[in-house]
């Protein structure tokens, strides 16, 4: 692994590791929310929960398990494929971190969502090295969307 790839992988692992903390703070309680907002939060929670074991394995905090990794990627793929659909309705709530820019730039948002799906579809997690190699693509897809369309708190 080149120094450049190793550095990018470590940055991606750090970004992925931060996602569960920030998302869980915002998405713990969906009771009483509009159904559309609750559905969006549920998809983001699913992504967070799928990334937890993958990030743990990539960082070496969790033993590598190809079956667990594959199940996590399948869950990530399922959620990424549903992301655009659950964001179609322009509904807001103070607990939501979704910016109005999503609906103002819908095609770009969908494209960024598709990028995550594409990265997940092609992610080989049959070995620890291949899992780590794909973290950068997943991290970049998540980060690109969050930078443009997620409220900073």
CATH number, domain with residue 26: 1.20.120.10
Give the gyration radius of the chain's Cα atoms. Answer: 15
**pLDDT recorded at residue 144:** 97
SS3 state at 72: helix
The pLDDT of residue 28: 55
Average pLDDT score over the chain: 87
Q: Give me the number of domains the chain comprises.
A: 1
Query: Domain range spanning residue 28?
Result: 3-90+98-149
- Provide mean pLDDT across the span 121-149: 97
Torsion 5-11-15-18 (CA) sign:
positive
Asked if residue 117 has pLDDT above 80, the reply is: yes
Contacts of residues 10-13 at CB distance under 8 Å and 24 or more positions apart, as own/partner, are 11/136, 11/139, 12/135, 12/136, 12/138, 12/139, 12/140, 13/55, 13/58, 13/59, 13/132, 13/135, 13/139
Question: What's the whole-model pTM score?
Answer: 0.80
4-28 pLDDT, tens digit each: 444 444 444 444 444 444 444 444 5
* 98 burial type by CB count under 10 A (0-12 exposed, 13-18 middle, 19+ buried): buried
């Amino acid at each position: 692994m080149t120094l450049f790839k190793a550095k990018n992988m470590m940055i991606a692992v750090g970004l992925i590791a931060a996602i569960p903390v920030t998302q869980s703070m915002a998405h713990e309680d969906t009771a009483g929310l509009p159904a559309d907002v609750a559905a969006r939060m549920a998809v983001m929670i699913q992504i967070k929960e799928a990334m937890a074991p993958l990030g743990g394995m990539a960082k070496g905090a969790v033993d590598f398990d190809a079956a667990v990794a594959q199940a996590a990627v399948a869950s990530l793929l399922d959620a990424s494929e549903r992301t655009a659909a659950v964001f179609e309705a322009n509904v807001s709530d103070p607990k939501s971190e979704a910016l109005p820019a999503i609906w103002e730039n819908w095609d770009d948002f969908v494209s960024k969502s598709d990028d995550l799906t594409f990265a997940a579809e092609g992610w080989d997690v049959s070995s620890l090295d291949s899992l780590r190699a794909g973290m950068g693509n997943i991290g970049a897809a998540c980060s690109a969307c969050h930078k443009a369309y997620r409220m900073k708190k």
